[in-house]
Amino acid sequence: MRLLFLGDMVGKTGRTAVWDRLPGLISDLRLDFVIVNGENAAGGFGITEDIFLETINAGADVVTTGNHVWDQKEAVAFAGRHDQFLRPANYPQGTPGRGSGLFYARNGARVLVANVMGRVFMHPELDDPFKSAEVILDACPLKEQADAIIFDFHAEATSEKQCFGHFVDGRASFVVGTHTHVPTADAQILNGGTAYMSDAGMCGDYDSSLGMDKEEPLNRFISKMPKGRMEAASGPATICGVGVEISDATGLAEKIAPLRLGPRLAETVPEFWR
């Protein structure tokens, strides 16, 4: 199975770049399943229902989120209406929406996708992500109820992300980190066969501070005083993500490599998809 994960869409420039390029990527790379993190898609803060639906219409099979999931008030209302919209699974019981789901890929495979949020340097501090993952895996084991299992681990600390990867190694197909908006250079397959990357990076303008117009963040570092609101940068976007090939026989990863398309970072498409 060929799976593509795209990192956090930031603002209009990030989301429109994904919408423009994703249909062609699905066709050209013969992708079976696509996941997009959309938690910063609405001006850099949260996601609206219209943006979610447009992302699905562009070809995403699932949209994941993170700590900004509720920044747009309408998300509380629409989260429960769409199975393909995920918020972190370790929110307390009774939170609107769902944190995981079983979906069907274009090749017929059953794909379990789970969205979990870390706790180190993160707000709000949610329930234990490791225990939440254990519950998810116990309910839908790999190669029993699911042919592939993917975790979007939305977290700040790379140490927490790496430990989570090792925790589910051999029991999940792929663990990818989101939240920090900077693509890491550690795409690998862990000892037990789980593909792993600490952060997929963002889909947004990299002439920025994490996708936000750089002037206000720079001012706050220098002066310690806000001058105005944070605004999403509006320059040309680079699409960042990661591609994984998953064995139909075992549900574990066979290949992993980053994907980057855009004007600022060196462009790369996984060699095994060329």
Residue corresponding to tokens 């064995």 = 247
198: in domain: yes
CB atoms within 10 A of CB 255: 17
Residues assigned a catalytic role? 68
- Tell me the backbone φ, ψ of residue 178, rounded to 5 degrees: -135, 175
215: in domain: no
Please give the DSSP secondary-structure letter assigned to residue 196. Answer: E
Domain that holds residue 188: 2-207+237-273
58: in domain: yes
Give the Cα separation of 160 and 118 in Å (integer).
Answer: 7
The order of strands in the sheet holding 253-261 is: 62-64, 33-37, 2-6, 239-246, 253-261
Q: How many domains does the chain have?
A: 1
Annotated binding site for Fe cation: 8, 39-40, 67, 154, 179, 181
106: in domain: yes
64: in domain: yes
226: in domain: no
212: in domain: no
| Alpha-carbon separation of residue 167 from 8, 137, 160, 185, 192 (angstroms) | 24, 11, 10, 21, 10
Per-residue pLDDT of the chain (274 residues; tens, 9 = 90+): 999 999 999 999 999 999 999 999 999 999 999 999 999 999 999 999 999 999 999 999 999 999 999 999 999 999 999 999 999 999 999 999 999 999 999 999 999 999 999 999 999 999 999 999 999 999 999 999 999 999 999 999 999 999 999 999 999 999 999 999 999 999 999 999 999 999 999 999 999 999 999 999 999 999 999 999 999 999 999 999 999 999 999 999 999 999 999 999 999 999 999 8
Question: Which residues make Cβ contacts (< 8 Å) with residue 57, sequence separation at least 6?
Answer: none
20: in domain: yes
CA angle 229, 42, 93 (to 5 degrees): 105
pTM, whole model, 2 decimals? 0.98
Looking up residue 269, the CATH number of its domain turns out to be: 3.60.21.10
